[in-house]
Amino acid sequence: MNIKSVAFRGSFKSYTQCPADGKPEFAFIGRSNVGKSSLINMLVNRKDMVRVSNKPGKTQSINYFLINDLFYLVDLPGYGYARVSKTERIAWKKMIAAYFTNRPGLACVYQLIDIRLEPQAVDIDFTNQLGEWQVPFQLVFTKCDKVSKGDGLLNIQRYFNKLRATWDVLPHHTVTSAEKTTGREAFLDTIRQTLEELNC
């Protein structure tokens, strides 16, 4: 898929303020520092389209980018940042739950996971939560340039072994590096396929 145009459509505090034009949306979420901003920038071929607005300490917001006038990439605030207060964590959960359960245009959620790490409870819990919300999602293992192929595959295997406790069918996954642009085509292909399935 060619990325022909990219336009920032706004930063919103609640799903109720998000665009209501019904265009399909593809949302990105993961632990803080997982490489979400870098991945989105890599996908759209812009150096710093996604700025640091969702960094810890800043107001948490949902950022919309319109691609090819056809669909949205949605940058959601991340989770798992240690120095966030309990009140902020609860507010985040409420905002995210409301978003995931109230967006009919939600075509796919991409949960990002750092391929260098053994399975983290906070990631597994979030994958299971996506299942409970019954939203379509895929996993994206990031920063693959930082590990050998063998170690990367082992960590993916470990993650799936954990998921097997609750999942019969394992989610689709891609492996990426924003640094080396690895996996860009395969990733964009998952978007193209989903759009085709939606007749877009």
Residue 75 beta carbon to ligand GDP: minimum distance, rounded to whole angstroms: 8
Question: Where on the chain is the footprint of ligand GDP (CB under 6 A)?
Answer: 30, 32-38, 78, 142-143, 145-146, 177-179
**CB crowding 152-176: b at 16 or more within 10 Å, else e:** beebbeebeebbeeeeeeebebbbb
Collapse the DSSP code of 43 into the 3-class scheme (helix H, G, I; strand E, B; otherwise coil) and give the result: helix
If the CB atoms of residues 56 and 105 are measured against ligand GDP, the closer one turns out to be: 56
Residue 144 beta carbon to ligand GDP: minimum distance, rounded to whole angstroms: 7
If the CB atoms of residues 58 and 164 are measured against ligand GDP, the closer one turns out to be: 58
Q: How far is CA 8 from CA 64, 143, 194, in A?
A: 6, 25, 22
Q: Give dist(CA 54, CA 122) in Å, integer.
A: 19
Residue 164 beta carbon to ligand GDP: minimum distance, rounded to whole angstroms: 27
If the CB atoms of residues 82 and 169 are measured against ligand GDP, the closer one turns out to be: 82
Phi and psi torsions of 38, nearest 5°? -60, -40
If the CB atoms of residues 127 and 195 are measured against ligand GDP, the closer one turns out to be: 127
Joined tokens for residue 9: 């459509």
If the CB atoms of residues 146 and 173 are measured against ligand GDP, the closer one turns out to be: 146
CA 146 to chain centre: 20
Question: Residue with CB nearest ligand GDP?
Answer: 35
If the CB atoms of residues 111 and 177 are measured against ligand GDP, the closer one turns out to be: 177
DSSP label of 17: G
Residue 196 beta carbon to ligand GDP: minimum distance, rounded to whole angstroms: 27
DSSP label of 170: P
Residue 180 beta carbon to ligand GDP: minimum distance, rounded to whole angstroms: 7
**How many helical (H) and strand (E) elements, i.e. helices and strands, does the chain have?**
5, 7
Residue 145 beta carbon to ligand GDP: minimum distance, rounded to whole angstroms: 5
